[in-house]
Amino acid sequence: MYDLVGVGIGPFNLSLAALCDGVPGLRALFLERGPAFSWHPGLLLEGTVLQVPFMADLVTMADPTSRWSFLNYLREHERLFPFFFSERFHIPRREYDHYCRWVAEHLPSCRFDAEVTAVEWDAAEGAFAVSHRSAAGRGEGRVLARQVVLGVGTVPSVPEPLRLLPTGAPADRRVNRVLHSADYRAHRAALAALDDVTVVGAGQSGAEVVLDLLRHQDGEGRGGPYVRWLARTPAFAPMEYSKIGLEHFTPDYVDYFRSLPEATRDRLVRAQWQLYKGVSEETLADIHDELYERTIGGGRPRAELRPGVEVIAARPDDGPDGAPGYVLTCRHAEQGADFEVRTSAVVAATGYATERPSFLEPLEKLIDWDGRGRYRVDGSYRVCLDPSVTGTLYVQNAEAHTHGVGAPDLTLGAWRAATILNAAAGRTVLPVPRRTAWTTFGVPEQRAARAGRAERVERVEQVEQVEQSEEAPR
């Protein structure tokens, strides 16, 4: 019987595993289907950096004394002095991935090659039964857990018009010419050899793919593909990175956001796109510099940037020479006009979406879904369950609709993990700060009332669950 079982080992559940390490009286296990830790391998391009400071590692914002901090990782690898002299605040993505691998490989609670196939409620045991299997032939297993934490991450999201394009048979030349940016690194050489590549999506990933493809052109813009960048957003805009603006990624804002009506929350997440879909100023500047270089000596960049454009249809269309390609029908939002472009390949840098994992099917009728089929999540990241379930189910990075745009952001990862740890342990293992922002979100005098109201609602829900559980037939 485990006190806590985590499903999935991405940065957020790995953060929880690191904070759980060494906690007296807490038995935890984390299961991951992959053979090792892997973080967005398709976008680990040379020169790319995290968009958050190195302090947003797995533990520091909750426990800076932890042995699993990034600074201790540097010390263990004898790189603390070089890091100090490099004066870095934002570290390379490849380094963050290596840091997380180091933590995952040294935590005894992390078990890889263990794909969870089912999570069900075992009333007789009063616990969740978590079934898992090995892809490497190590057989199947089953463990019991009083509490389960879902940390399965998100899946690449592709617009419907692009999803409808045929992928072809294995021998088809069209294969891998329509792909998500998550797979870009594996196909970058083949894409760079084409004559025309279209990137769809105005976020950081799209900008990095565009920049990488531009750099495959020679210094005068010849060679390499013609690069087209399309985006629905009204501009290729920088991410909000002002010191006050970043306070949207604080527990204070999470508390405020949770107090809002559902319709308001949904509208806000869409409206705040520049908080999480913008591009770093440095990347935009690098793209501009690449284009500027092409104009020296009277040249013209072999590229076009078109914001405010949505791809509404797509079809295969081979060129006169028989080379495979596609025609994209686009609509300009502000002008209301449609136009077509022909391209040899499409990279969809269109973000990620949460997906209901199939292993939850045994629990589907016991989970209280909202009207759009999403988890109802309380302030401690507990999923609302049927009162007959006396165990607790938590979720990480699937609660933007209830907790705001900070859900997928690494900044809040350690704080959220500490919140879950305290709830799971039934005591304060790691204290969390009471005030984290200068900004007062909402009506000032209602702040304390709002927090108190949220706490009262949670206490009432807990009491009701216990009472209903006691009244249920046994």
Beta strands across the sheet bearing 147-150: 110-111, 28-31, 4-7, 147-150, 392-395
Query: Could you tell me which residue, 46 or 376, shows the higher pLDDT?
Result: 376
Average pLDDT over residues 392-416: 96
Residue 372 inside a domain? The answer is yes
Tally of domains within the chain: 2
pLDDT on residue 459: 53
360/339 same-domain check: no
Residue 262 inside a domain? The answer is no
Domain membership of residue 309 as a residue range: 158-239+277-348
296/402 same-domain check: no
pLDDT on residue 170: 56
Residue 177 inside a domain? The answer is yes
134-155 pLDDT, tens digit per residue, is 998 889 999 999 999 999 999 9
Query: Could you tell me which residue, 121 or 296, shows the higher pLDDT?
Result: 121
308/340 same-domain check: yes
**Considering the chain, what is the average pLDDT of its residues?**
91
Which among 425, 441, 459 is the end of a domain? 425
Contact partners, residue 353, CB within 8 Å, separation at least 6: 154, 155, 157
Which among 307, 331, 348 is the end of a domain? 348
Average pLDDT over residues 309-319: 93
74/26 same-domain check: yes
pTM beyond 0.85: the answer is: yes
Residue 103 contacts residue 35 (beta carbons within 8 Å): no
188/91 same-domain check: no
168/213 same-domain check: yes
Q: Is the pLDDT of residue 465 over 80?
A: no
Flag the least confident range among 194-198, 292-296, 395-399: 292-296
What is the spatial distance between Cα 325 and Cα 143, in angstroms, rounded to a whole number?
50
Residue 459 inside a domain? The answer is no
376/294 same-domain check: no
Average pLDDT over residues 382-404: 97
Residue 268 inside a domain? The answer is no
Average pLDDT over residues 322-343: 95
179/309 same-domain check: yes
Residue 435 inside a domain? The answer is no
Q: Is the pLDDT of residue 249 over 60?
A: yes
pLDDT on residue 323: 83
356/307 same-domain check: no
For residue 313, give the CATH number of its domain: 3.50.50.60
365/294 same-domain check: no
Q: Is the pLDDT of residue 262 over 80?
A: yes
Residue 434 inside a domain? The answer is no
Residue 269 inside a domain? The answer is no
Which among 303, 318, 348 is the end of a domain? 348
37/91 same-domain check: yes
283/135 same-domain check: no
